[in-house]
């Protein structure tokens, strides 16, 4: 091949290769642009994750048969009760007792200001509120504990006692003690309180609730002497 023809052929070949490379780069670039547009559209349409909201109840629910279940709180920030409000008293509280309770209440308020999710702080706040006769305040404090410490039985047991012995709301007392047993089936105190609710207090007296409770308790705690004794008392 003559030299001039060779160079013309080589120049044409290089031009064709350059055209193919340009076409390839253009195709790849177009695909990248489409991909970027798709991702922008996808994320803008889906939006940022929404904050979960809901009814912040006592951390338990009760079905038509009185069975309690613990509510799962995932990605929910419970709203704390106002622990800065003044302590209220029921009628009949003596001045000396008021002074003692108010002093202790102020100490706990100051502590919670520095430690807003303290387990002991909220439990003790509820104890002071109950002693003063502020049952709603005690309910709010302990209900909050069931939300931020759902694996503890203390607040559930305190709520059960509050409803059983002070406000006389037996369905809620039962629900709280059952919620406590859902957390810890070995909590013998909760079995004892429920047994008293069904027998001494007469709640569900015409049912097998007490007997069923002890069967449940002995299944979770075989040969427990306290539960066996209650079972013997029931059979008399």
Which is more confident, 152 or 26?
Answer: 152
Residue 23 counted as domain residue: no
Residue 207 counted as domain residue: yes
Residue pLDDT, tens place only, 95-111: 999 999 999 999 999 99
pTM above 0.95, yes or no: no
Residue 157 counted as domain residue: yes
Q: Is residue 68 helix, strand or coil? A: strand
When pLDDT is cut at 50, 70 and 90, the band that residue 27 belongs to is very low
- Which residue segment(s) compose the domain that 84 sits in? 60-235
Question: Distance between CA atoms of 198 and 63, rounded to whole angstroms?
Answer: 18
Chain centroid to CA 127: how far?
21
Q: What share of the chain is helix, strand, coil (3-state, %, to 5)?
A: 65, 5, 35
Residue 20 counted as domain residue: no
Residue 107 counted as domain residue: yes
Compute the mean pLDDT over every residue in the chain, rounded to the nearest whole number: 79
Q: What integer is the mean pLDDT of 52-68?
A: 38
Q: What is the CATH number of the domain that holds 153?
A: 1.25.40.10
Residue 143 counted as domain residue: yes
Question: Distance between CA atoms of 45 and 43, rounded to whole angstroms?
Answer: 5
Residue pLDDT, tens place only, 125-145: 999 999 999 999 999 999 999
When pLDDT is cut at 50, 70 and 90, the band that residue 77 belongs to is confident
Residue pLDDT, tens place only, 188-216: 999 999 999 999 999 999 999 999 999 99
Tokens found for residue 108: 């706990």
Look at the chain and report how many structural domains it folds into: 1
Residue 2 counted as domain residue: no
């Amino acid at each position: 091949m003559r030299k001039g023809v060779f160079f013309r052929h080589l120049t044409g070949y290089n031009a064709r290769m350059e055209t193919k490379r340009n076409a390839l780069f253009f195709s790849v670039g177009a695909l990248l642009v489409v991909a970027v547009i798709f991702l922008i559209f996808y994320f803008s349409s889906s939006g940022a994750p929404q904050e979960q909201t809901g009814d912040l109840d006592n951390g338990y629910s009760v079905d038509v048969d009185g069975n309690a279940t613990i509510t799962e709180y995932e990605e929910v920030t419970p709203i704390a009760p106002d622990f800065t409000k003044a302590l209220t008293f029921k009628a009949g509280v003596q001045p000396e007792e008021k002074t003692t309770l108010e002093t202790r209440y102020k100490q706990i308020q100051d502590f919670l200001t520095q430690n807003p999710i303290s387990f002991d702080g909220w439990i003790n706040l509820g104890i002071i509120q109950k002693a003063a006769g502020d049952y709603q305040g005690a309910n709010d404090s302990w209900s909050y504990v069931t939300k931020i410490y759902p694996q503890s039985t203390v607040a559930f047991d305190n709520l059960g006692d509050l409803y059983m012995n002070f406000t006389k709301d037996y369905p809620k007392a039962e629900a709280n003690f059952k919620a406590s047993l859902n957390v810890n089936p070995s909590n013998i105190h909760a079995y004892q309180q429920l047994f008293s609710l069904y027998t001494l207090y007469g709640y569900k007296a015409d049912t097998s609730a007490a007997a069923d409770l002890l069967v449940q308790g002995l299944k979770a705690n075989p040969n427990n002497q306290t539960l066996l004794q209650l079972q013997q008392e029931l059979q008399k």
